[in-house]
Amino acid sequence: MLKIAPSILSADFANLERDIRRVDTADYLHVDVMDGLFVPNITIGIPVVEAIRPVTALPLDVHLMIDRPVRYVEQFCRAGADIVTVHVEADSEENTKKALSLIRAQGKRAGVVLKPGTPAEAALPFLEQCAMVLVMTVEPGFGGQAFMEDMMPKLRTLRGWIDQRGLDCELEVDGGIGPETCKTAAANGATVLVAGSAVYHAQDIPARIRELRG
């Protein structure tokens, strides 16, 4: 079954604990970290990950949209992240490999993220080290954008490589996921769906999570 990872980017930050508890029927809690350099927005960081850790039993899926994440991955792991994903565009291949190794050395799951303009091939050097590959279906930076259906060939390519190699690697999609686009993403090989506005703007959040799972 598909896993659903609600993004707290669409939560009410003045009531973050309440809004985290509202999604407790989901599979992961997706935490969008932005530094104002790698993306044109600034959100939350290490102290917030630390603060929300005791509030939920869900694994924290921390999506680092930051420049040269190798500098900070260990701190995010220590703060309580369970899965840490880094953008392949954010540093050199060597430093991205180092970041993945540092995450794994902390006993956490590591993954890489591809922006819409980045081809599937950019994930290849890292696949064996990854417990997750995340395909962006919007330009990273903001919630509430439209799903880019033209990312589906890239998703299928990655699905094929993961299966051919028999890797234990989740394939996650992030951006514009809703009751219709969830089906498209699943049909093209996604196993984890991030959803911010579709979850938090729903009248009945548990029902919306069930709907997205399909």
Active-site residues: which are they? 32, 174
Alpha helices in the chain (DSSP H): 16-21, 46-52, 73-79, 93-105, 152-165, 181-187, 197-200, 205-213
Partner whose binding site includes residue 169, from Zn ion, ligand DX5, none (CB under 5 to 8 Å by kind)? none
Asked if residues 141 and 41 have their Cβ atoms less than 8 Å apart, the reply is yes
Site for ligand DX5 in 10-29 (CB under 6 A): 10
Closest separation in Å from C-beta 121 to ligand DX5: 22
Give, for 4, the enclosing helix (H) or strand (E): strand 3-6
Query: In whole angstroms, how close is the CB of 30 to Zn ion at the nearest point?
Result: 6
Please identify which residue in 103, 133, 174, 192 interacts with ligand DX5, judged by CB under 6 A.
174
Q: Under the rule (CB under 5 A), what is the footprint of Zn ion?
A: 32, 63, 174
198 contact partners, CB below 8 Å, separation of at least 6? 177, 178, 179, 208, 212
Pick from 69, 80, 141, 189 the residue near ligand DX5 by CB under 6 A.
Answer: 141
Give the integer Cα–Cα distance in Å for 146 and 177: 8
Match 């039993």 to its residue by tokens: 57
Burial of 40 (0-12, 13-18, 19+ CB in 10 A): exposed
Q: Compare residues 10 and 56 and give the one whose CB is closer to ligand DX5.
A: 10
Q: 144 is in the binding site of which of Zn ion, ligand DX5, none (Cβ under 5 to 8 A by kind)? A: ligand DX5
Q: Which residue, 10 or 160, has its beta carbon nearer to ligand DX5?
A: 10
Residue selected from 36, 40, 119, 144 as contacting ligand DX5 according to rule CB under 6 A? 144
Is the Cβ of residue 63 or residue 109 nearer to Zn ion in the bound state? 63
Q: How far is CA 178 from CA 120, 160, 182, in A?
A: 23, 24, 6
Among 194, 202, 209, 212, binds ligand DX5 (CB under 6 A): 194
Minimum CB distance to Zn ion smaller for 94 or for 185: 185
Residue 31 contacts residue 63 (beta carbons within 8 Å)? yes
CA–CA gap between residue 163 and residue 137 (Å, rounded): 21
- Using CB under 6 A, list all residues that contact ligand DX5: 7, 9-10, 30, 32, 63, 138, 140-145, 174-177, 194-198
